[in-house]
Amino acid sequence: MYRILDILKGETGYISGEEIGRKLDISRAAVWKGISRLRQEGYEIEAVTNKGYRLAPYETMYNQKELESGLKTKYMGRPLLFFHETDTTSNRIREFALEGGAEGALAVAESQTAGRGRRGRHWEAPAGTGVWMSLLLRPKMEPASAPALTLLAGLAVAEALEEVTGLSMEIKWPNDILCNGKKIVGILMEMDCEMQEVHFIVLGIGVNVNMAEFPEGLREKATSLYLEGGRTYSRRQTVHSILERFEELYDAFLQSGSFVPFRKRYREKCVNIGREVRVLGREEFPAVVLDVTPEGELLVRRLDTGREEVVFSGEVSIRKEGTG
Ligand code: ADP
């Protein structure tokens, strides 16, 4: 694979996989494998459909030093803890929080061996292709305001990715981010609190950046920035944009103490409004989504009873009608 690296280093522009293969007398599949392995070592290699591969200008590596450099935040991502491989970055941040770690601390992993979604569902987080990270937050607010923070995180990440890629992102309430109808980001918020006070929050963010394919069973519902944009994107830039945008929105949220200033932007991206969904919680029922409330809850009209009801993000999830 280092012979592939040498070829990339010798080029100023893009070189096709076919041409690399010809030079080394190996197949295109072998070239792709070599490129994947180089990425797992932290080399940023761009791939663009119909053009080929290129070592990212300045050859930024995905590691602690490169992730720290050029970050334009006051406190998000500081300190930054980088792990080559870990079970989940959420666990690292939880430990850091219990030791008294400061707000804004970030754990980033090249790969996670036990990534999880809500209710312990598995989250696919292979090396070399994604951004798997968790942030430590210590907001001075009541636990009841936390659901709005979940939505705010979704909005910040969606806006950051639009800025990096120019692609348009949609939000599935409360905070799944979709691109052309498929899931591209997962966000998981875990809270440690008492009745009146939040101790800390671990905000986990997983972005599918440069995956070229997904395992069986995920293929129909998951996508990546690479698959949608036809080119790879810098994971370092992705991390930086998310931290910068999130810091801006989070500060404004704490200052105003409310989700209202962000509601309009959120609703514009929210794909559920006006659609039929199946609400899954203590009860299961079909409903039409009417709106997202000023508190960030979902206002629905039940199709079974005809009544309007407010749905809270902590308790339920929604599915498109007809897809189970
Ligand atoms: P949901 O509530 O929509 O089921 P979660 O936030 O709980 O979603 O995330 C877990 C689910 O996401 C898994 O059950 C799996 O179907 C899907 N998933 C796992 N890894 C990925 C990934 N890398 N990209 C997109 N979707 C994924």
* Angle subtended by helix axes 260-269 and 146-165, to nearest 10: 50
> Domains in the chain, ordered, with CATH?
2-55 (1.10.10.10), 64-269 (3.30.930.10), 276-318 (2.30.30.100)
The response to whether residue 147 sits with its C-beta less than 6 Å from ligand 1 reads no
**Atom 10, ligand 1: residue with shortest CA distance:** 117
How far, in Å, from the CA of 7 to the mean position of ligand 1?
37
What is the best residue among 183, 189, 318 to mutate for testing ligand 1's pocket, by most ligand atoms within 8 Å of CB?
Answer: 183
Q: 27-39 pLDDT, tens per residue?
A: 999 999 999 999 9
Whether 183 is in the pocket of ligand 1, judged by its Cβ within 6 Å, is yes
Nearest-CA residue for atom 18 of ligand 1: 123
Q: Would you give the distance in Å from CA 18 to the centre of its chain?
A: 32
pLDDT values of the chain reduced to their tens digit, one per residue, 324 residues: 889 999 999 998 999 999 999 999 999 999 999 999 999 888 889 999 999 999 987 667 899 999 999 999 999 999 999 999 999 999 999 999 999 999 999 999 999 999 988 878 899 998 889 999 999 999 999 998 888 999 999 999 999 999 999 999 999 999 999 999 999 999 999 999 988 899 999 999 999 999 999 999 999 999 999 999 999 999 999 999 999 999 999 999 999 999 999 999 999 999 999 999 999 888 899 999 999 999 999 999 999 999 999 998 766 677 876 554
Tally Cβ neighbours within 10 Å of residue 206.
Answer: 25
- Mutating to test ligand 1, I would choose from 90, 214, 218 the residue with most ligand atoms within 8 A of its C-beta, which is 218
- The answer to whether the beta carbons of residues 137 and 251 sit under 8 Å apart is no
Q: Count Cβ atoms within 10 A of the Cβ of residue 171 and give its class: 0-12 exposed, 13-18 middle, 19 or more buried.
A: buried
- The residue behind tokens 């996508």 is 223
| pLDDT value, residue 314 | 64
Distance in angstroms (rounded) separating the CA atoms of residues 42 and 62: 5
| pLDDT score for 319 | 80
Q: What is the atom index within ligand 1 of the atom nearest the CA of 217?
A: 16
| 254, two tokens | 């704490």
Q: Which atom of ligand 1 is nearest to the CA of 125?
A: 23
Q: What's the CA gap between 149 and 155, in Å, rounded? A: 10
What would the pLDDT profile of 120-139 be if each residue is shown by its tens digit?
Answer: 889 999 888 999 999 999 99
Alpha-carbon span 187 to 207, nearest angstrom = 9
Supply φ then ψ for residue 106, to 5 degrees.
-130, 135
Report if pTM > 0.85. Answer: yes
What pLDDT is recorded for position 109? 97
